[in-house]
């Protein structure tokens, strides 16, 4: 299996741990931000790509008028099942769909949203062109991507700890994929190649707060494909998690810990 394929495997207990530990740790503030931006546009129908366990879906549900149709999609059945189980206040049309080949008519939506999914697309230009195709004239594609790993402190610490534990083959999932698409010029280039005019890109910092270092370590080591990287190297998942927790505690203190997170927020007009 290629690295790109491995990086998209969110299976087993990962979806549950992703939702319980990682979503409140790093995703919620950015989901709320995207929802506010969409709500300001007075949309009537929104497609969400790569919805994962539905954190942005639920933020959209809370922010948008009840008359707005929301269609959340994801290619990963396990993540979509977790999203469905959590549910929303309104009825939304959960769909299994590939961002590379969206099963919707041209111009079917006036808003397309993607919360931290673009980093995983095998061909970003093609995926962005699909988002543009299903947008009506005047609609907008809004998405976010993580900034460089050095500006995301917990992820950086975890990556350094695991590199020291496995020096011959360091687990690089976090740096390679979630934090691997942080160049604003490259994002602009890809969006424009997909047919959009030059997008607006904003850098948005926030804070990541965990009740303790162990909770943050579990989020990264067990709630992401880092888990597969650790286990495939013959490492103990529990020991790797504890080592990351010790390092986080050494840097950020005991009890509640607080670290910087940072992302790019992109708005592309149709």
Q: Which residue ranges in the chain fall short of pLDDT 50?
A: 1-9, 11
Q: Say what the pTM is.
A: 0.93
Q: Tokens for 16?
A: 């549950």
Q: Around 4, how many Cα atoms within 13 Å sit in the side-chain half-sphere?
A: 7
Q: Is residue 233 a contact partner of residue 173, using CB atoms and an 8 Å limit? A: no
Q: How far apart are the C-alpha atoms of 72 and 80, rounded to whole Å?
A: 9
Give the start-to-end residue ranges of the domains of the chain: 3-269
pLDDT value of residue 7: 42
pLDDT value of residue 10: 52
pLDDT value of residue 15: 76
3-269 topology per CATH: Rossmann fold (3.40.50)
């Amino acid at each position: 299996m290629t690295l790109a394929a491995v990086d998209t495997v969110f299976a087993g207990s990962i979806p549950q741990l992703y939702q319980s530990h990682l979503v409140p740790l790093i995703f919620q503030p950015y989901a709320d931000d995207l929802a506010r931006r969409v709500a300001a546009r007075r949309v009537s129908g929104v497609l969400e790509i790569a919805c994962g366990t539905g954190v942005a879906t639920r933020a959209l549900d809370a922010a948008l008028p009840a008359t707005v149709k929301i269609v959340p999609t994801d290619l990963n059945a396990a993540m979509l099942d977790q999203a469905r189980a959590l549910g929303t206040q309104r009825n939304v049309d959960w769909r299994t769909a590939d961002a590379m080949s969206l099963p919707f008519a041209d111009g079917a939506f006036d808003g397309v949203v993607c919360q931290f999914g673009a980093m995983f697309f095998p061909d970003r230009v093609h995926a962005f062109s699909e988002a543009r195709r299903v947008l009506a004239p005047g609609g907008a594609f809004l998405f976010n991507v993580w900034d460089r790993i050095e500006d995301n402190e917990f992820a950086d610490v975890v990556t350094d700890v695991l590199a020291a534990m496995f020096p011959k083959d360091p687990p690089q999932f976090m740096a390679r994929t979630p934090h691997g698409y942080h160049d604003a010029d490259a994002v602009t280039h890809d969006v424009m190649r997909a047919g959009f005019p030059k997008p607006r890109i904003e850098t948005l910092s926030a804070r990541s707060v965990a009740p303790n270092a162990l909770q943050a370590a579990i989020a990264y080591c067990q709630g992401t494909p880092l888990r597969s990287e650790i286990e495939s190297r013959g490492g103990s998942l529990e020991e790797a998690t504890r080592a990351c927790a010790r390092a986080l505690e050494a840097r950020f203190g005991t009890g509640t810990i607080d670290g910087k997170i940072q992302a790019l927020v992109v708005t592309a007009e149709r």
